[in-house]
Amino acid sequence: MESRGRTLSEALNEAPLSLFHLRAMLTAGMGFFTDAYDLFIIGVALVLIEAQWHPSPVQIGLLGSTSLIAAFVGAFIFGRIADVYGRKAIYGLEAAIMAVGAIASAFAPSIVWLIVFRFVLGVGIGGDYPVSAVIMSEYANRKDRGRLVAMVFSNQALGLVVGPVVALVLLAAGVPHPIAWRLMLGLGALPALAVIYLRRTLPESPRYLARVRGDTAAAAASVEQYSGGAVGRTETREPRIRQSFGQFLGDRRNWALIAGTAGSWFLLDYAFYGNSISTPLILKSVAPGASLIQATAWSLIIFAVAAAPGYITALLTVDRIGHKRLQWIGFLVMAACFATIGLVPGLTNAVLAFLIVYGISYFFTEFGPNVTTFVIPAEVYPVANRTTGHGVAAGIGKVGAFIGVFVFPLLNRALGLSGTLLLTAVVAVAGALLTQILPEPAGQSLEQLGREDRLTLAPAAGAAAGNE
């Protein structure tokens, strides 16, 4: 494909959807399969761990949530490092940390050590968020960027489904419970180990190389080889941009973006993780006589019938509907569902009716903010601080998840399931309101969204790519 007279970023923006986009998506997406499996399998494992070790309520809360607060740490640290040293410098390291954390969790000798190992796991999970999202967005074209980044995140749906399947197989096979929960946790290492090599061979982000490092020639050669010529050669020097971390924090626009991206992600994760990891507890409240296998099967049904189609519908429509618009629509329907459960008398005791309304809330969580809160931060910040901005948003989001998981059992005891979900409805309305701060990224280039023209420096001498 001829691209004479265009910069590398312009060539990437207009490149047709190709196999190299799919390769990048699969390399990034496998990490999110691992993230989802590792984060949500603890909901089932907790029931077995509680029966074996009889942890205190505080320890139960920490077991379910410690990996989430650790993800806050990992997202901040890895997000910043990836802007300073490059995306490739750490890509694969976070997967190795996840594998170590999962294996160590499987061999934990006590409840305290299990909490420690879940923290290690969470650091790797947090580090995966900004780097995977931004690498995909920086390889993506303008037209399909939302879909491609959403496809990375939609691998979470597989993790949500595979977790309960693994648990059901182990429980139905009669594996002793003290061994079953260790296998559930340890199996999370397999996909993380499988993806390390692919991530280490992925080229550095071409936009980062060209616009931050000023090495347009290396960026052009790298992307031409990786894409098999789908992007083609570029002949115009790429304008460099510069924005230090201090300048990033001093820019009032970035603070508005942080409020919109991090604030809405915080509220989403409070609702989503609080409900998802506590789903076995929720179903036990609705149907106290259900066995663990029955409750786990219902969780699988909710994830497979409601959540997974939500992810698929989101990635098919996000660029047509609009990333911002899809987010606030999802928040509002979530709020309506949670309010219905909270306000309709007897709904929490009617299993079928509850599962239908709860399932609809799950569909619109995925067909909306659970996908878009991941996509939008990878688009709206300038390239010099893009993983930093995404890391801040993801990290603060995981603080919301930590709070949701930790307080849900306490709120359930104090307010009952109806009162707890009614409070969650208020949280979802607040998420819809915060979404209005954000720009609409659909159809715009990353350079436009990051307003990189304000930060442009003279191109580096000799940085021309492909000069003939």
Task: Report whether 267 contacts 428 (CB < 8 A).
Answer: yes
By mean pLDDT, which of 67-81, 111-125, 290-304 is the weakest?
290-304
Task: Tell which residue, 284, 308, 41, has the closest CA to residue 49.
Answer: 41
Instruction: Cite the DSSP H helix spans in 108-215.
Output: 111-139, 145-172, 177-186, 189-201, 206-208
pLDDT of 277: 62
Sign (positive or negative) of CA dihedral 263, 269, 274, 275: positive
More confident residue, 421 or 3: 421
Arithmetic mean of pLDDT, 232-258: 85
3-state secondary structure string, 199-235? HHHCCCCHHHHHHHHCCHHHHHHHHHHHCCCCCCCCC
By mean pLDDT, which of 66-80, 224-238, 278-292, 365-379 is the weakest?
278-292
pLDDT of 457: 64
pLDDT level of residue 467 (50, 70, 90 thresholds): very low
Q: Tell me the three state secondary structure of residue 240.
A: strand
pLDDT of 42: 85
Checking if the pLDDT of 364 tops 80, the result is: yes
CA–CA distance, 112 with 116 (Å, rounded to integer): 6
Q: Domain 8-440 belongs to what topology? A: Growth Hormone; Chain: A; (1.20.1250)
Task: Report whether 64 contacts 43 (CB < 8 A).
Answer: yes
Task: Report whether 209 contacts 215 (CB < 8 A).
Answer: yes
More confident residue, 341 or 284: 341
pLDDT of 279: 67
pLDDT level of residue 5 (50, 70, 90 thresholds): low
Checking if the pLDDT of 278 tops 80, the result is: no
Task: Report whether 437 contacts 259 (CB < 8 A).
Answer: yes
* Residue at token pair 């304008």: 239
pLDDT of 284: 66
Checking if the pLDDT of 243 tops 60, the result is: yes
pLDDT of 366: 92
Arithmetic mean of pLDDT, 267-287: 75
CA–CA distance, 53 with 63 (Å, rounded to integer): 12
Per-residue pLDDT tens over the stretch 21-44:
988 898 888 888 888 888 878 878
Arithmetic mean of pLDDT, 148-160: 88
pLDDT level of residue 461 (50, 70, 90 thresholds): very low
Task: Report whether 233 contacts 465 (CB < 8 A).
Answer: yes
3-state secondary structure string, 401-443? HHHHHHHHHHHHHHHHHHHHHHHHHHHHHHHHHHHCCCCCCCC
Task: Tell which residue, 328, 365, 323, has the closest CA to residue 133.
Answer: 323
More confident residue, 234 or 273: 273
Percent of the chain at pLDDT exceeding 70? 93
Task: Report whether 12 contacts 206 (CB < 8 A).
Answer: yes
CA–CA distance, 180 with 447 (Å, rounded to integer): 49
- Would you put residue 243 in left (φ > 0), alpha (ψ -120 to 50) or beta? beta
Arithmetic mean of pLDDT, 223-231: 79
Arithmetic mean of pLDDT, 166-182: 92
Mean pLDDT (the chain) is 87
Checking if the pLDDT of 459 tops 50, the result is: no
Two structure tokens written together for 145: 């960027």
pLDDT of 53: 93
Is residue 216 classed exposed, middle or buried when 0-12, 13-18 and 19+ CB atoms within 10 A define those classes? buried
- Domain parsing of the chain, residue ranges: 8-440
CA–CA distance, 151 with 135 (Å, rounded to integer): 13
pLDDT of 173: 92
Per-residue pLDDT tens over the stretch 203-222:
889 999 989 998 888 888 88
Arithmetic mean of pLDDT, 123-134: 94
pLDDT of 225: 77
pLDDT of 448: 93
pLDDT level of residue 468 (50, 70, 90 thresholds): very low
Checking if the pLDDT of 460 tops 50, the result is: no
pLDDT of 227: 80
pLDDT level of residue 239 (50, 70, 90 thresholds): confident
CA–CA distance, 115 with 112 (Å, rounded to integer): 5
Percent of the chain at pLDDT exceeding 90? 50
Arithmetic mean of pLDDT, 291-301: 75
More confident residue, 4 or 94: 94
Checking if the pLDDT of 328 tops 50, the result is: yes
Is residue 140 classed exposed, middle or buried when 0-12, 13-18 and 19+ CB atoms within 10 A define those classes? buried
Which amino acid does the sequence have at 113? Answer: W
CA–CA distance, 91 with 208 (Å, rounded to integer): 14
